């Protein structure tokens, strides 16, 4: 429980820090880079390194590459659907999380399993 | 367009918007730890690139843009959708940088001190994202 709480606090702080940083930049396309900042990765890997060691963290980082490719697909679809069809942000960004999950697990199965 | 820094955005952001980002960031980091413990680092690692706060951030941005335009007596829905689209296009470039981050950590963690690896990977994310953003701008 203590470890989960620690992850929550550190993760929340790092994610907030990158979000604040992204918020101060213009133009919007540049600020958008921070929407895919390695905030969760930095928080998680720091704690994983302390609790489970280097080999474990390196395996997480390897899978993260696949997750990032899924993120690329996810963000590209959002950009396209909101621009062309003017769909609302919340249903598009939430619904497409299923696409992230699908792409991430499919790539993991094909490339890493 | 040149990159500019506008610190007024920090003051204009409402407290609950920071709270939402903290909450989602904290939840996904905690959840990633739980998933890795249950299913191992190969599955858990996928979630290091999970777009956890993207829906919240995009919704807040859409709301801000709409309000801004409506204050000027204009219809804000179209502008808000364009702002979300532009932000997502930036995030897609950042996601490529995110894969570079993962690659650097994976390949160098066994050799170099952990702090140096995480620092180097963050610099690699910054540099690759910035370079790709510049390239796209010129295309």
Chain B nearest-CA residue for A26: B4
- Top pLDDT among B17 and A30 is at A30
Chain A nearest CA to B103, separation (Å): 7
Buried residues in B24-38 as b, exposed as e (16+ CB within 10 A): bbbbbbbbbbebbee
Least confident of A78-92, B9-23, B100-114: B9-23
pLDDT of B38 > 90? The answer is: yes
- In whole numbers, what is the pLDDT of chain A averaged over residues? 92
| pLDDT (0 to 100) of residue A95 | 94
Asked if B7 and A24 count as a contact pair (C-beta separation under 8 A), the reply is: yes
**CA distances from residue A38 to A4, B71, B121, B122 in whole angstroms, order as listed:** 19, 35, 9, 7
- pLDDT tens column, B88-106: 999 999 999 999 999 999 9
pLDDT in tens, A4-18: 999 999 999 999 999
Q: What would the 3-class secondary structure string for chain A be?
A: CHHHHHHHHHHHHHHHHHHHHHHCEECHHHHHHHHHCCHHHHHHHHHHHHHHCHHHHHHHHHHHHHHHHHHHHHHHHHHHHHHHCCCCHHHHHHHCHHHHHHHHHHHHHHHHC
Mean pLDDT, residues B20-46 taken together: 92
- Cα nearest neighbour of B8 on chain A: A24
pLDDT digits (tens, 9 = 90+) for A25-78: 888 889 999 999 999 999 999 999 999 999 999 999 999 999 999 999 999 999
Q: Which residues in chain B are closer than 8 Å to A76, comparing Cβ atoms? A: 88-89, 92
- Chains A, B: CB contacts within 8 A come to 326
Q: What is the mean pLDDT of residues B9-16?
A: 80
Q: How confident is the model at residue A93 (pLDDT cuts 50, 70, 90)?
A: very high
Chain centroid offset of residue B23 CA: 15
**CB-CB: which of B44, B59, B121 is closest to A89?**
B59
Q: Where do the structural domains in chain A lie, given as residue ranges? A: 1-52, 54-113
- Residue A39 confidence (pLDDT): 92
What is the distance between the alpha carbons of residues B121 and B132, in angstroms, rounded to a whole number?
Answer: 16
Whether residue A20 and residue B94 make contact (CB cut-off 8 A), yes or no, is: no
HSE-CB at B14 with a 13 A cutoff on CA atoms is 8
Q: Residue B36's closest chain A neighbor by CA?
A: A60
A27-41, B29-43, B67-81: which range is least confident on average?
B67-81
The dihedral formed by the CA atoms of A4, B42, B39 and B96, expressed in degrees to the nearest 10: 60
Instruction: Choose the closest CB to B29 out of A44, A69, A104.
Output: A44
Let me know: does B69 contact B80? Beta carbons within 8 Å.
yes
């Amino acid at each position: 429980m203590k470890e989960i709480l620690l992850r929550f606090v550190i993760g929340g702080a790092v994610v907030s820090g990158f979000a604040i940083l992204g918020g101060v930049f213009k133009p919007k396309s540049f600020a958008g880079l921070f929407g895919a900042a390695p905030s969760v990765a930095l928080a998680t890997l720091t704690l994983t390194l302390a609790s489970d060691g280097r080999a474990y963290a390196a395996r997480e980082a390897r899978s993260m590459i696949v997750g990032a490719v899924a993120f690329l697909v996810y963000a590209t679809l959002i950009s396209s659907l909101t621009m062309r069809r003017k769909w609302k942000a919340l249903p598009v960004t939430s619904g497409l999380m299923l696409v992230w999950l699908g792409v991430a697990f499919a790539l993991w199965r094909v490339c890493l399993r | 367009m040149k990159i500019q820094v506008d610190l007024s955005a920090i003051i204009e952001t409402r407290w609950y918007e920071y709270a939402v980002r903290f909450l989602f960031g904290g939840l996904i980091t905690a959840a990633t730890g739980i998933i890795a413990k249950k299913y191992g680092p190969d599955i858990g690692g996928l979630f290091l690139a999970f777009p956890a706060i993207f829906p919240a951030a995009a919704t807040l941005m859409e709301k801000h843009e709409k309000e801004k335009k409506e204050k000027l007596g204009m219809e804000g829905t179209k502008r808000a959708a364009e702002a979300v689209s532009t932000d997502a296009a930036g995030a897609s470039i950042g996601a490529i940088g995110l894969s570079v981050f993962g690659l650097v950590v994976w390949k160098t963690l066994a050799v170099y001190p952990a702090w140096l690896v995480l620092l180097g990977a963050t610099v690699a994310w910054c540099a690759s994202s910035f370079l790709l953003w510049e390239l796209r701008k010129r295309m």
